[in-house]
């Protein structure tokens, strides 16, 4: 019997690495903690499903030898941050923190056992791992295509008739370039891990003409914060995800109607870092922030301004380099990065 707060492999779910279906392994040893290789996909999935069957804490890592000194308690697991604000960190969270959102997604997106989920990235990436665990838990087929080229990924999606795709913006761009034909069986594209720009969204809409595109905003520490759909204004990351209490606080820690630091409380928060640390990440009264700044409009849409530690002062005004990059990108096809420098003023 699998506890309700533990991941499971539902009896109706099937799991594939590329075109190969993985068998269900019998229960094995109950170790304290397992560090699993993230590639190749067959090995990663074999290790992951064994850990689920044995109800053992686990971590998928690109460099498993570097995680030998990390521990994890029962009922928990580790994911790795993307390192956008520094060195990657090992995030420890309860399995229940992800399971809590599985049911939310099942209701919101009408997930059903006839759905087949396609995953493009390595399982060391939290978006890919989440997609696989959600599918297995709910009883959906999951197809992990991380070992295939974008052209072959598109061909496999078409071959199996996948209906749901989890991907990052970069993965979507590569898939759109590599696909020989549109993918009409996809009814839902769930995007996370970065902003979905207008050009990429248009490419996805051409590639997946029957799919609704939903974009998650969040962090490894918080999981989902907001969700953007077709009604969301361009540039916004959407409204709060169900179950999320979102607050903006000023430098004095008081609520503000202007630009403020984003703090969230939800059932989806992490427990702490198993390795590494961040001065940006703080907790207070059940809320967590990772140091990102934002603003809410009158309709409750969140607009990301940048990271608190990256704000600079120009002519007595606080400026986010990310905002300058966005303006340049809107008027140029060239990629850009803004690096502030001190001047005599």
Q: Is the pLDDT of residue 301 over 80?
A: yes
Ranges 26-35, 255-264, 317-326, most confident: 255-264
**Beta partners for 219?**
223
Cα(236)–Cα(255) distance, integer angstroms: 20
Cα(195)–Cα(322) distance, integer angstroms: 12
Q: Is the pLDDT of residue 1 over 60?
A: no
Band of pLDDT at residue 328, cut at 50, 70 and 90: low
- The pLDDT assigned to 70 comes to 78
- The pLDDT assigned to 155 comes to 98
Cα(203)–Cα(331) distance, integer angstroms: 19
Backbone angles phi, psi at 87, to 5 degrees: -65, 145
- Mean pLDDT of all residues belonging to the chain: 90
Structural domains of the chain, with CATH: 15-310 (3.40.50.12780)
Band of pLDDT at residue 316, cut at 50, 70 and 90: very low
* Percent of the chain whose pLDDT exceeds 70: 86
Other beta carbons within 10 Å of 210: 13
Band of pLDDT at residue 323, cut at 50, 70 and 90: low
């Amino acid at each position: 019997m699998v506890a309700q707060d533990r991941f499971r492999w539902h009896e109706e779910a099937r799991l594939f690495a590329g075109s190969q279906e993985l068998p269900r392994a019998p229960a094995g040893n109950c170790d304290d903690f397992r560090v699993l290789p993230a590639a190749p996909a067959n090995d990663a999935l074999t290790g992951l499903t064994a850990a689920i069957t044995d109800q053992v804490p686990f971590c998928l890592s690109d460099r498993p030898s570097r995680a030998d000194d990390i521990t994890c308690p029962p009922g928990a697991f580790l994911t790795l941050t993307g390192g956008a604000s520094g060195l990657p960190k090992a995030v420890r969270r309860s399995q229940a923190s992800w399971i809590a959102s599985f049911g939310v997604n099942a209701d919101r997106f009408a997930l059903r056992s006839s759905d087949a989920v396609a995953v493009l990235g390595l399982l060391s990436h939290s978006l890919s791992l989440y997609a696989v665990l959600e599918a297995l838990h709910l009883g959906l087929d999951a197809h992990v295509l991380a070992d295939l080229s974008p052209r072959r990924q598109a061909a496999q999606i078409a071959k199996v008739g996948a209906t749901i795709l989890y991907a990052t913006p970069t993965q979507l761009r590569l898939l759109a370039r590599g696909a020989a034909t549109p993918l009409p069986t996809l009814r839902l594209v769930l995007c996370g891990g970065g902003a979905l720009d207008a050009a990429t969204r248009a490419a996805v809409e051409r590639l997946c003409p029957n799919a609704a595109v939903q974009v998650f905003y969040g962090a490894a520490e918080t999981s989902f914060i907001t969700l953007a759909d077709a009604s969301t204004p361009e540039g916004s990351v959407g409204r709060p995800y169900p179950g999320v209490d979102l607050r903006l606080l000023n430098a004095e820690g008081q609520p503000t109607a202007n630009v403020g630091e984003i703090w969230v409380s939800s059932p989806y928060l992490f427990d702490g870092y198993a390795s590494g640390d961040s001065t940006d990440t703080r907790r207070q009264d059940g809320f967590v922030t990772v140091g990102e700044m934002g603003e809410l409009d009158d309709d409750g849409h969140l607009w990301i301004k940048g990271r608190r530690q990256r704000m600079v002062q120009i002519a007595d005004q606080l400026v986010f380099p990310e905002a300058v990059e966005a303006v340049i990108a809107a008027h140029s096809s060239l990629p850009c990065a803004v690096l502030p420098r001190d001047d005599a003023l």
